[in-house]
Amino acid sequence: MTRILDLNHLTLDHVRVLESVIDEIKPDFHALIKSLYDRTDRSIFWMVNSLVSRSNYSSDLFQDLCGLELARQTAAAGAVDRIIVRSPGQKKVLDAYFRYHQIPIPVRCPGALTSTLGRVGKPIYDVLRNIQWSLAYLKQKNKHRRQAVPVNRSLILIDTFFSAYIFKSGEFKDRYYTGLLDHLTPEQEAHVFFVPNVISWRRIGRMVRIAEGAREKFIYFFDFLKLKDYLFALSAPFAIRRIPLGHYRFRGMPIGPVLKADFRKHIAQRSAFRGILFFCFFKRLKQAGISLHLVVDWFENQMVDRGFNKGKNIFFPDTPSIGYQGLIAAYKWHFQVQPTQAEARAGVIPQTMAVIGSGLKTIARQYHPGLDVMVAPGLRFSDIHKLPVKEPDQFSDTAPVILVALPIWVEDSLEILGLLFHVLDLIREKQAKVRIKPHPSLDFDAVQSAMPSWPRKFTLIEGDFADTVQTADLLISSGSTVCMEAIAYGIPVIVIGSRTSVTKNIIPETVPKQIWDLCYTGDEFSLALNRLCFDLTRADRQAFARLAQQVRTDFFHPVSEHNVRQMLKLDFLAPDQPRPFIQPAAPATDLEAN
């Protein structure tokens, strides 16, 4: 039988090898990124380029390299007769490597023509979309809002987002800094302005109008930008100074083709475009005489973050900045949220990282041991310290409730439901109730259309997660912070691992497996259900309660007046202290005025 490695449709055995490959190649990958940084001119165009982003949202590079290394290792072990790759670039790399080492393994790339057309067409589409975004932003520019921004006091700027979901209820509902202003005095609150990253261009005007009625005060970057700033950002794909990429090797493989393909495909990406606009925004703030006390970036280290932080670091170098990570990430795959020393030297990260628990500090420093990291309140998770840990007597022995939190990705949601179908007989035998809670942004219609039937045991529910999870005896999910929230309430968790790609597990390795498990197969799932739900003793549930308290301490810093004010460095303005007059920033130099 022909043994095939298909990088588009991995088997579970290949997935397990891939999981180890990811960790194995990261040091070499970071060395590659540093080498790329060293060859660039360090312009803003390069600082927001996909090749150095390390983001699997914005770049195919790391995924391509993982696939190439998986293929190389599988071929070296003599465990494959044919390889199917994801892209023409991967095929060129493997063909050259196998030819040099005289390895007679054919490499195929189905859909190569489609892939090539997409790679050529995407930059053109992105440029046109960026022009469309520019026109939408220009249309919303308002000089009266700009002139209303105070220049007689030092401001705290907080990066946030405007999306359709945030305005779904017809009002602005902050999902990122929940309750932050409630912990400030009116005098302190007067210094705080939110800077929205508007990611839904079709309804910008509506969102801005609704936001006018919100408690929060906003500064819009498009109120400060000039036409030349948009032209500057739009010129990036053409003005960026190219560097030679053909000579690079990775683990013995000539990777020039995948480097070139990634550079071309993502050269005009929207996140990079907005990053350049935020870079220009800080220049215009400086020219307008705005004084800044602190800048807070919602830090996911995406390309837009890099432009935001580069602009702040260039034009307001003496202003402190914080990269607030109000989340717990799937660090294995989304490791771009862990800054590197190369990024610090490039000036594309904030001065200080703020994580929401002391147990995350070491994780944040993994690739930059000298990184300044502070612990800040977990604003999105304030309910965790308001609600009690589930007591042993509150679990059900006769009709346990299984809460299934479907993640945002359709494929991952289908994998979870597929394993649930596998254990339906066990669920019926134990008389368990299954409640399905889809992620608000999940395309649930696509999920339902892919399901052959919907068991009567499955009940769809809505509502706040903190209220819902209190009634559950077990949580099943994947790639979502609800897994850590559930553990903090004393609810055991089963994470469903992907059978076809990388598992996005957000539970840190330091959390004991006593209260959670990771399952790939139906048999593993059945064992975990029995261990974490159906066969529990009172002693097990008491242990869950103790672990929950430890998780709260390590990963969810409480929200309080002291902790919020400490994060925002509000010592300069005590609650009863009169507002100081701040001398406006010096006028821009001729160079800065360009």
Asked if residues 32 and 518 have their Cβ atoms less than 8 Å apart, the reply is: no
CB-hemisphere CA count at 13 Å for 510?
12
- Give the contacts of 27 (CB within 8 A, at least 6 positions apart): none
**Mean pLDDT lowest for which of 27-31, 97-101, 198-202, 310-314?**
198-202
Q: What is the pLDDT of residue 578?
A: 45
Strands of 326-461, DSSP E: 352-355, 373-375, 401-406, 433-438, 458-460
Q: What is the pLDDT of residue 90?
A: 97
> pLDDT tens digits, residue range 405-445?
998 888 889 999 989 988 989 999 999 999 999 988 888 88
Report how far residue 150's alpha carbon sits from residue 239's, in angstroms, rounded to the nearest whole number: 36
Asked if residues 138 and 175 have their Cβ atoms less than 8 Å apart, the reply is: no
Q: Which domains can be identified in the chain, with CATH numbers? A: 4-120 (no CATH), 387-555 (3.40.50.2000)
The H or E element spanning position 160 is strand 155-162
**Mean pLDDT lowest for which of 243-257, 326-340, 357-371, 398-412?**
398-412
DSSP 42: -
> pLDDT tens digits, residue range 478-531?
888 899 999 999 999 999 999 888 898 999 999 999 999 999 999 999 999 999
**Mean pLDDT lowest for which of 20-34, 179-193, 577-591?**
577-591
**Average pLDDT taken over every residue of the chain:** 92
The proportion of the chain whose per-residue pLDDT surpasses 70, expressed as a percent, equals: 96
Residue tagged 């010096």 (tokens): 586
HEC secondary structure over 61-124: HHHHHHHHHHHHHHHHCCCCCEEECCCHHHHHHHHHHHHHHCCCCCEECCCHHHHHHHHHHHHH
Percentages (nearest 5) of helix, strand, coil residues in the chain: 50, 10, 40
Asked if residues 519 and 525 have their Cβ atoms less than 8 Å apart, the reply is: yes
Over residues 193-205, the mean pLDDT reads 88
> pLDDT tens digits, residue range 71-99?
999 999 999 999 999 999 999 999 999 99
